[in-house]
Structure 1
Amino acid sequence: LPIEENAMRTISENRCFGGMQGVYSHASEVTGCEMTFGLFLPAEAIDRPVPVLWYLSGLTCTHENAMVKAGAQRFAAEHGIALVFPDTSPRGADVADDAAYDLGQGAGFYVNATEAPWAPHYRMWDYIAQELPRVVTAGFEIAEDRQAITGHSM
């Protein structure tokens, strides 16, 4: 997989509570595979950078879990806050996996793996703390100095 930094692909964009709910993917240098994330932008993001809340989902989830089930977009739209919904793990045919539901692709451990076969792709701490924020702030009107993080089932 050739990696081109910050090359983002739009999967979908839909109007939502006056803002835009999008799903995007990019080639991650950190995980060595294509990564997907959801991003809700309130209407204010058209004119100026807005604060952002990073929402980390837990075990067996994807970027869709909180994006689809939580209904947080209404609150975020009312308060001018962007929401980022990262995927919980790297995915793909070349990414190590395990038959157990709580290990491998989909298991939401936001740490950097140190042992084979996980170490090459499972670098989720670096992805969430460093790479994805750079990708999101480079591509969208996000205030780098106004960020918060939350999650569930972690």
Structure 2
Amino acid sequence: MKVLSTSKSHGGIQGVYSHSSEVCACEMTFAVFAPPQAVEGHVPVLWYLSGLTCTHANVMDKGEYRRLAAELGLVIVCPDTSPRGADVPDEKDNWQFGCGAGFYVDATQAPYAKNYRMYSYVAEELPALVAANFPVDMSRQSIFGHSMGGHGALTIALRTPGRFRSCSAFAPIVQPTTAGWSRPALEKYLGSDENSWRAYDATLLIEDGHRYGELLVDQGTADGFLQDGLRPWLLEEACKKAGIALTLRMQEGYDHSYNFISTFMDDHLRWHAARLA
């Protein structure tokens, strides 16, 4: 693991790191905020998964999480959203696919299967690296994310229900198998057999019997992607049928940006901290 930068903030340390990923077959970068309590012992860890076009840096620079994370004693880990590098296949003119748009799936189709394995990277490889190098209590983990990252957080939590004590999302893509901005990516990564897509769709995972104790979702009513891409009412319907406790908060006038995320970041951090205690 390489240390790219560290900076003191609110008594803790915001760091950016990289490592050679076996899973993604390239160099991967991620950010970790370690609160001041981490000096004294292992503390809970909260994973944040970012959305389309983002890297680890977007939430680090605009998410406004460090003050309260320091107060609550939470490590915040922010992975990248995809593999990157000259040898990684990409569609540079398509912001909904390729670099910056890994969709937290394990690709099975050439030429993407070699690198685009973000599900295994976030669920397995990066947690092992973080556990070995940072003072985290891996028995106390939670996960949240935004948009594509909200989709990732929901699907990873549903597929590994014993791992995370809580899961929340900002404006998640709740049914990527039918959303216009995600269906083409799933087909390129996973092939034309749509049954293989179900493992990466929160609503279909619930339909197929996966369960989670409770979920928190915030969604802005002025989000330009609300009707065609996000559609939180589909998650609400699936959770109601399955008996999953979902708190869906429609936030009047908010859009899809980090102005929205940063406004409600404290709510999510406190919600997770209460369940990580």
Does residue 22 of the first structure (1) align with residue 18 of the second (2)? no
Q: Which has the higher helix share?
A: 2
SS of match in other structure, 1:130: helix
Letter in 2 for 1:41: A
Change in CA separation of 1:123 and 1:108 when aligned onto 2, cut-off 3 Å: closer
Q: Which has the larger radius of gyration?
A: 2
Matched with 1:131 is: 125
Cα distance, 1:117 vs structure 2:
1.2
Query: 8 Å contact 2:23–2:121 — kept in the other structure?
Result: yes
CA RMSD of aligned residues (A): 0.6
Greater relative contact order (CA < 8 Å, ≥ 6 in sequence):
1
Q: Distance in 1 between matches of 2:51 and 2:95?
A: 12
Partner of 1:113: 107
5+ residue gaps in structure 1?
1-7
Quote how far apart the aligned CAs of 1:72 are: 0.5
Q: Counterparts of 2:102 and 2:13 in 1: how far apart (Å)?
A: 26
Aligned length: 147
Q: What do the CA deviations read for 1:123-146 (whole angstroms, capped 9, x no partner)?
A: 000000000000001001010100
Percent of counterpart pairs with the same letter? 58
Q: Quick one: which of 136, 146, 151 aligns to 2:145?
A: 151
Q: Which has the higher strand share?
A: 1
What per-residue deviation string (whole Å, max 9, x for no partner) do you get for residues 51-91 of structure 1?
A: 01100001000000111101111110000000001000000
TM-score computed with the length of structure 1 as normaliser: 0.94
Q: Distance in 2 between matches of 1:121 and 1:65?
A: 22
CA distance in 2, matches of 1:142, 1:29: 22
Residue of structure 2 equivalent to 1:90: 83
| Runs of 4+ more than 6 Å apart | none
Distance 2:147 2:60 in 1: 15
Q: 1:58 aligns with which of 51, 58, 64?
A: 51
TM-score (norm 2): 0.53
